[in-house]
Chain A
Amino acid sequence: MLLEIKNLNKTYHSGKVDFQALYDINLSIKDREFTAIAGPSGSGKTTLLNSIGCIDRVDSGDILMMGENLTDKTQRELARFRRQNYGFIFQTYNLIPVLTVYENVELPLKLLKKLSDNEIHGKVHEMLNKVGLQGLDKRMPLELSGGQQQRVSIARALVKKPKVVLADEPTANLDSKTGQTIVALMKELNKKEGITFLFSTHDHFIMEQADRLIEMHDGRIKK
């Protein structure tokens, strides 16, 4: 089992009001699985993905990745862990606006600090080819369409060959046709590269592409 989530609880404290966003989540994800998390807005999809991705703290429960418990790591250890094992794709793409397409894709490899410039160059171009952006490496993000930007974002998430890619509503900002091609690309890479995908969506067509569907409602997983 690649990822195991046990009895996860998360409460938001905003001002004087407490809001429990996750109730006793138990979930296992297998290696190479292509999993969708579905559920209405506010059901806790983002919160769950953030918790798994260790970019937010949880109240109780365990997150085990390849047997390693992530809940008792320090902030710095988590940053390093993410760097090695996680890829992120966001609804709003979140490319770094001052960097070119090439530089955006290169960023995660630079952070790894162990590859030569030549190796990086090869990997980035290979990845750009895979997402169909060959020739656009010198463009700035704002010169690209939404679909192209999301492809860059996918390339950025995959270039370092992470264990898991977490994608929070990757198609929500795109028209349905583009959204479908993006999911198709994700699925293709999942199969070819053998990378585990966990993504949230509330688009039925996209849910249908998933190997497995997890439905959420009011912070709980529907059985």
Chain B
Amino acid sequence: MKYLFKLALKNIMKARRRTILTFLMLSFGVMVYLIMESMLAGFDKASFQNFIDFETGHFKIRNENFDEDHPYDTDYSLKNTDQIEEKLKNLDFVTGYTSRINFLSEIDNGIDSTPVITVGVDPENDSKVFSLKKYIIKGSLEKGGALLGKTLADDMKVDAGDIIYITFRSSKGMFTSIELLITGLVQSADPKVNNLTVFINLDEAREHMGVEGATEITFRVKDYQEPERYTKQLESDFSGFRVQSWKELSTDFTALMSTKRAGGRYFLLFIVVIALVGIINTLLMSVYEKRREIGTLMALGMEHNEIRNVFMIEGFLIGFFGSICGLIIGTITNLYFIYSGIDYTAMVGEGGMGFNVMGVIKSSWVISAYISSLLIVVFASVLSSYYPAKKVMKMNPAECLRTVQ
């Protein structure tokens, strides 16, 4: 067996153009797969971070009857926010909390209008939970003013210092239109914040909307990776409310992510097809071209199945070294993507790619991509070499030796 490996290796080393092409295609495929998986994992990580930093926080407390299908309805809000905040303040594992009111409105400049999410923000506490403040690029949020997503402001052709209106129906149902001075602009890594959100003062939101408390209180905890450890206490402390961790709040999001990640798997399937087609073709031609060599080996006393195995080992080696080569080049290329990252917004525009991210994204290492691409490509290569290799079994040595070349 060891000798057969040596023979196969010699054959590969002196490979013809076809073999080299198959090899390169496999390497390239594996390389792209690796880069793609790492990129998707990077997106995944960044998306989750954004989701936590801009939307879910670590935990949310909401009205028991809060309707997830209509998250911007103010029908079910929290009345006694002060009381809840006081309780949170006394929990040692809570590192920050804030109240927000979310509702839908339409923003207009007297020429155009567009639906937006309006968020009433507590100016004192918000930055203890959300990253909003860090991403303000101009001005600040002030009383009687509004903080607009940069993209939204651009779309509405307004800037800080301009006046806009938001129109909505108060919680009771009356059309309400308020005039706001844009006191700041925000540009974050979360497209939702940039494209369709208007931030106003929490107290003003309460007044205009006719809501007493808030629609949600969001807070951060010490160990957010394992929110489960706090659920029991939170449930008993806040019975009668809906308390959910970021994990529970992101189930739809997680599902969306995993469908996006499936893209990588389809790509792997594509490489497998290259392996099948490339290796079958290469080996079939090789078996045909090497008939006299095969006849010679048979005359020298090599058994049919040993010669078949040499060809299968060749298939294995093309797959194995092709993958290894792809993984090495992929890893080297990935170093850049992982340590420097790439500004995807600059590449594909602010619409993004349906991911919850913007700006520079760094890829992540995905160990499983190494293992799965190596195993699957090697397996597909050996499998696809079986069909051409088994042609050897039916060959007659005398006939092989007679072939003129």
A–B proximity contact (CB within 8 A) = yes
Q: Which residues of A contact B (CB under 8 A)?
A: 46, 50, 53, 55-57, 75-76, 79-84, 86, 88, 90, 92, 94, 96-99, 103, 107-108, 110-111, 156
User: Which single member of A57, A83, A86, A98 contacts B13 (CB below 8 Å)?
Assistant: A98
Q: A76-B304, A99-B10, A111-B300 are in contact. List 7 more A-B contacts (CB 8 A).
A: A53-B299, A56-B399, A76-B303, A79-B303, A86-B299, A86-B301, A96-B296
CB <8 Å contact, B11 and A98: yes
Among all A-B residue pairs, the 4 with the closest Cβ atoms: A83-B301, A56-B398, A55-B397, A94-B296
**Which residues of the other chain, A, contact B297 by a CB distance below 8 angstroms?**
96
Is B162 at the interface (CB under 8 A from chain A)?
A: no
**Which residues of the other chain, B, contact A98 by a CB distance below 8 angstroms?**
10-11, 13-14
CB <8 Å contact, A56 and B397: yes
Number of A-B contacts (CB under 8 A): 68
CB <8 Å contact, A97 and B3: no
Is B302 at the interface (CB under 8 A from chain A)?
A: yes
CB <8 Å contact, A83 and B300: yes
Interface size, chain B (Cβ < 8 Å):
23
CB <8 Å contact, B396 and A56: yes
CB <8 Å contact, A96 and B293: yes
CB <8 Å contact, A79 and B304: yes
18 contacts between A and B (CB under 8 A): A46-B402, A50-B398, A50-B401, A53-B299, A55-B298, A75-B303, A76-B303, A79-B302, A83-B301, A88-B296, A90-B401, A92-B292, A94-B292, A94-B293, A98-B13, A103-B10, A111-B3, A156-B300
Q: How far is the CA of A98 from the CA of B397 in the complex (A)?
A: 20
User: Which single member of B3, B11, B292, B299 contacts A55 (CB below 8 Å)?
Assistant: B299
Q: How far is the CA of A79 from the CA of B308 in the complex (A)?
A: 14
Q: How far is the CA of A83 from the CA of B13 in the complex (A)?
A: 27
B304 to chain A, nearest CB (A): 7
Nearest residue in B to A82 (C-beta to C-beta)? B301
CB <8 Å contact, B14 and A111: no
Is B295 at the interface (CB under 8 A from chain A)?
A: yes
CB <8 Å contact, A97 and B401: no
CB <8 Å contact, A79 and B396: no
Q: How far is the CA of A107 from the CA of B293 in the complex (A)?
A: 13
CB <8 Å contact, B300 and A82: yes
Q: Which of B299, B303, B397 has the most CB of A within 10 A?
A: B299
Q: How far is the CA of A103 from the CA of B3 in the complex (A)?
A: 11
Q: How far is the CA of A76 from the CA of B308 in the complex (A)?
A: 14
Nearest residue in A to B9 (C-beta to C-beta)? A98
B334 to chain A, nearest CB (A): 35
CB <8 Å contact, B296 and A90: yes
Q: How far is the CA of A55 from the CA of B298 in the complex (A)?
A: 8
**Which residues of the other chain, B, contact A108 by a CB distance below 8 angstroms?**
300-301
Given known A94-B292, A110-B3, contact A79–B10 (CB-CB < 8 A): no
Q: How far is the CA of A177 from the CA of B397 in the complex (A)?
A: 31
CB <8 Å contact, B14 and A97: yes
Q: How far is the CA of A5 from the CA of B14 in the complex (A)?
A: 42
Nearest residue in B to A91 (C-beta to C-beta)? B401
Contact with A along B1-17 (1 / 0, CB 8 A): 00100000011011000
User: Which single member of A55, A107, A111, A156 contacts B295 (CB below 8 Å)?
Assistant: A55
Q: How far is the CA of A84 from the CA of B300 in the complex (A)?
A: 9
